[in-house]
Amino acid sequence: MPRTAKRLIGAFALVLTLAGGGGAWWAANRFLIPHVEISDVAAYQAQQGAQSAADTSDTVDGTVNGTSFTSDDAAVTISTHTSGSGADTLTYYVADVTLTDATALRSAFADNQFGENITARVSEIAEANDAVFAINGDYYGFRSDGIEIRNGVVFRDEGAREGLAFSTDGTVKVYDETGTTADELVADGVWNTMSFGPAIVEDGSTVDGIDDVEVDTNFGNHSIQGDQPRTAVGVIDANHLVFVVVDGRDTGYSRGASLEELAGIMEGLGAQTAYNLDGGGSSEMWFDGEVVNRPSNGGERATSDIFYIAG
3-state secondary structure of 176: strand
The percent helix, strand, coil of the chain (3-state, each to 5) is 25, 35, 40
What's the CA gap between 241 and 77, in Å, rounded? 11
- pLDDT tens digit sequence for 106-125: 999 999 999 999 999 999 99
Highest mean predicted confidence (pLDDT) among 17-31, 62-76, 120-134: 120-134
Instruction: Return phi, psi of residue 266, to 5°.
Output: -65, -40
Inter-CA distances, 310 with 130, 237, 242, Å: 6, 22, 17
- Find the mean pLDDT for residues 243-256: 97
3-state secondary structure of 141: helix
Q: Is 270 left (phi over 0), alpha (psi -120 to 50) or beta?
A: left
Inter-CA distances, 150 with 29, 61, 140, 294, Å: 25, 26, 11, 27
Give the ranges where 169-210 is alpha helix by DSSP (H): 182-187
What's the CA gap between 228 and 241, in Å, rounded? 22
Residue spans of the domains in the chain: they are 1-33, 39-310
Q: Is 198 left (phi over 0), alpha (psi -120 to 50) or beta?
A: beta
Of the ranges 29-38, 121-130, 214-223, which one carries the lowest mean pLDDT score? 214-223
Distinct helix (H) and strand (E) counts, the chain = 6, 20
Q: Supply the pLDDT for residue 213.
A: 79
- pLDDT tens digit sequence for 251-272: 999 999 999 999 999 999 999 9
CA 202 to chain centre: 19
Q: Judge contact between 231 and 78, C-beta under 8 A.
A: no
pLDDT band at 230 (very low <50, low <70, confident <90, very high): very high
Q: Please determine, for residue 59, whether its predicted confidence score (pLDDT) is greater than 80.
A: no
Instruction: Return phi, psi of residue 170, to 5°.
Output: 95, -5
Query: Closest Cα to residue 121, out of 289, 311, 310?
Result: 289
Across the chain, mean pLDDT equals: 87
DSSP-assigned letter for residue 277: E
What's the CA gap between 69 and 267, in Å, rounded? 24
Question: Which helix H or strand E contains 114, and what residues bound it?
Answer: strand 114-116
What's the CA gap between 38 and 189, in Å, rounded? 23
- pLDDT tens digit sequence for 210-228: 988 776 544 444 557 899 9
Residue 293 CB-density burial (10 A; 0-12 exposed, 13-18 middle, 19+ buried):
buried
- Find the mean pLDDT for residues 174-200: 97
